[in-house]
Amino acid sequence: MDDNKKNLLILHLTVLVWGFTGVLGKLISIDAVPLVWYRVLIASATLFAWFLLSKKNIKVTKKQFIQFILTGGIVAIHWIFFFHAIKVSTVSVTLVCLSSFTLFTAIFEPLIKKQPLQIGDIFVGLLIILGIYLIFKFETQYTLGIIFGLLAAVASSLFSTINSTLVQKSEPSIIGFYELVGALCWITLYRIYDGSLMHTPFNLSITDWIYITILGTFCTSVAYVAGVSVMRTLSAFRVALITNLEPVYGVVLAFIFFKNNEQMTTGFYTGAAIIIGSIFLYPIYKKRRNKL
């Protein structure tokens, strides 16, 4: 198997693992805030161990450190909203709503990078809004989950846009490490403030420990390093297309694990098809626009 095919397989497996995080979020019994706290604690420790073993220099400037730590706060908010949405609705609803980050990226990217808003971005955004409307209309029992799923998408698009500028001057793995540390710091401060850290149940069930360990290692640090490594040989267009499979993989996995609990109305699947179809069309449109 040549390197290109090997990296393509690695990327698909990485996206599959990312899709599996929603299933783990549903299986883990604790609430979203402590769940994310455990996740970033394990993930940052794992990445730090990897840096030590690989003897990688992770020094950054004071300005970069502050930027990464602050962005880590947005990452923490994203994950907390994501897992809370899963807790109050379903994995399928949350993942489809999360995939609407393409819409918010089309809004944030021109603002942060001071670029003009493109007509094509607006069209894709309107399609996604239509899909969201259909989900809201037909899945009213999951309104809270839909709202938190959309908020998670807003946070995701915000830190992704910020990272697209930060990555021009720093290595992605180093950015990811410091952002995980930042997320851990901000959540710890919050948990000290609300008093929950003093009552953290370290005596979790064996099952919860297994799921949290898988979430923090394979689904976060290992998947992140693998995802970054393949970007050196695969085109950005191909990476974008395959990454957009995350909600598809996640919904399929959720149906395998939870079966009837993940069955939705026809309106939901119509809205989901519009949203997922839009996010697949978006990189194709962007590639063609860039050639003009």
Q: pLDDT tens digits, residue range 121-165?
A: 778 788 888 888 888 888 888 999 999 999 999 998 888 888 878
Tokens of 282: 């978006």
pLDDT at 114: 74
CA dihedral 168, 237, 279, 100 (to 10 degrees): -20
User: pLDDT tens digits for 183-194?
Assistant: 999 999 999 998
Q: What is the DSSP letter of 28?
A: S
pLDDT at 194: 87
Q: What is the DSSP letter of 116?
A: P
- Residue 181 scores a pLDDT above 80: yes
- Report the chain's terminal Cα–Cα distance, integer Å: 35
For residue 201, how many other CB atoms are within 10 A of its CB?
Answer: 11
User: pLDDT tens digits for 23-79?
Assistant: 999 999 999 999 999 999 999 999 999 999 988 889 999 999 999 999 999 999 999
Residue 153 phi/psi, 5-degree rounding, is: -65, -40
Look up the pTM and report it. 0.88
pLDDT at 129: 86
pLDDT at 165: 81
pLDDT at 172: 80
CB burial readout 219-232, b (16+ within 10 A) else e: bbbbbbbbbbebee
Q: Which residue has the tokens 């609990």?
A: 261
Q: Which residue has the tokens 């309107």?
A: 126
Q: Which of 74, 123, 88, 81 is nearest to 102 (CA)?
A: 123
Type of residue numbered 40: V
Q: Which residue has the tokens 């947005």?
A: 74
Between 262 and 186, the higher pLDDT residue: 186
